[in-house]
Amino acid sequence: MARNRKRGDAQRQRRVLFRGDRWIYALVGVTVGILLWPLFGVLNADSIQGFFIDLLPEAVGITFTVLILDNLDRQRERTQTREELIRRMHSRFKDTAIPAIEELRVLGHLSDGSIRGRELRGSNWMTANLYEADLRDTDLTNAVFIRADLVKANLTGAKVQDGQLARAFKLWQAIMPDGTLYNGRMNLQGDLALARKKGFSPSDPASLAEFYGVSQEDYQRGQAWANQELATLLEDEDDAYGFDKLSI
């Protein structure tokens, strides 16, 4: 794996070198052409005209071939980079997973569907910024979301338990696995802090219902669930993983 990664890095470096110096190569070509131009003086006009007539189709063909191959090479490189980053974000070591997630965000792959339907069991996304991440239909069994930011993430159809999400930092405006808008039932610290920042009152159910974008009835149902289930879920989560998850 390390050998293949080094080989891929070397290839990317060569490609970057070529792209960065392509205008130098073009300038060299023009200079050579200028230097060779006096040689055409020994040829008559008909010979020169015939030479360029024969050369033009080949030059056009070569140009388009180079452009097409360069575009295909760029696409292949982007695909390889994306797949390598997704493999890294699947790591159970957060020092490997978190930088990969940040690179995927910069490249736009967190929200463009590249991750949708992936098998990402056991990933360690502790403190990860998963803002607007498209996690539809992903297998997130045993994935770690401790203090993760899942604002506006789409979890529709994802395999993930409430106990995992209850350890997150924010879930505001997230779409839950059942396709419904998150109604605040986890009472996450990050969400409540964001509500205060936006001028909503955490002590007012009507205000929080407006903050989460749900009806008061839906918000109250979520709070009733929290009163009955949340403490037990958090205890079960701690018992299942002990302190190992917190120390990874």
Q: How confident is the model at residue 38, as a pLDDT?
A: 55
Number of domains in the chain: 2
Inform me whether the pLDDT recorded for 236 exceeds 50: yes
Domain boundary among the residues 37, 68, 86 is at 86
Average pLDDT on 75-90 reads: 91
- Tell me which of 43 and 119 has the higher pLDDT: 119
Residues 124 and 176 occupy one common structural domain: yes
Q: How confident is the model at residue 150, as a pLDDT?
A: 98
In which band, very low, low, confident or very high, does the pLDDT at 195 lie, cut at 50, 70 and 90? very high
CA nearest to 146, candidates 212, 225, 243, 223: 243
Q: How confident is the model at residue 130, as a pLDDT?
A: 98
Residues 180 and 196 occupy one common structural domain: yes
Residues 103 and 208 occupy one common structural domain: yes
Q: How confident is the model at residue 166, as a pLDDT?
A: 95
Q: What percent of the chain has pLDDT over 90?
A: 61
Inform me whether the pLDDT recorded for 171 exceeds 90: yes
Domain boundary among the residues 86, 105, 122 is at 86
User: How many Å apart are CA 13 and CA 10, to the nearest integer?
Assistant: 5
Residues 208 and 101 occupy one common structural domain: yes
Residue with tokens 């009472």: 187
Radius of gyration (Cα) for the chain, nearest Å?
A: 28
Residues 49 and 130 occupy one common structural domain: no
Average pLDDT on 160-178 reads: 96
Inform me whether the pLDDT recorded for 248 exceeds 50: no
Question: Residues 85-142: pLDDT tens digits?
Answer: 999 999 999 999 999 999 999 999 999 999 999 999 999 999 999 999 999 999 999 9
Domain boundary among the residues 86, 117, 140 is at 86
Q: Which domain holds residue 158?
A: 91-247
Inform me whether the pLDDT recorded for 149 exceeds 50: yes
Q: How confident is the model at residue 67, as a pLDDT?
A: 63
Taking all residues of the chain, what is their mean pLDDT, rounded to a whole number? 82
Residues 124 and 233 occupy one common structural domain: yes
Average pLDDT on 19-44 reads: 53
SS3 of the chain: CHHHHHHHHHHHHHHHHHHHCHHHHHHHHHHHHHHHHHHHHHCCHHHHHHHHHHHHHHHHHHHHHHHHHHHHHHHHHHHHHHHHHHHHHCCCCHHHHHHHHHHHHHCCCCCCCCCCCCECCCCECCCCECCCCECCCCECCCCECCCCECCCCECCCCECCHHHHCCCCECCCCECCCCCECCCCCCCHHHHHHHHHCCCCCCCHHHHHHHHCCCHHHHHHHHHHHHHHHHHHHHHHHHHHCCHHHHC
In which band, very low, low, confident or very high, does the pLDDT at 17 lie, cut at 50, 70 and 90? very low
User: How many Å apart are CA 71 and CA 88, to the nearest integer?
Assistant: 26
Average pLDDT on 53-77 reads: 63
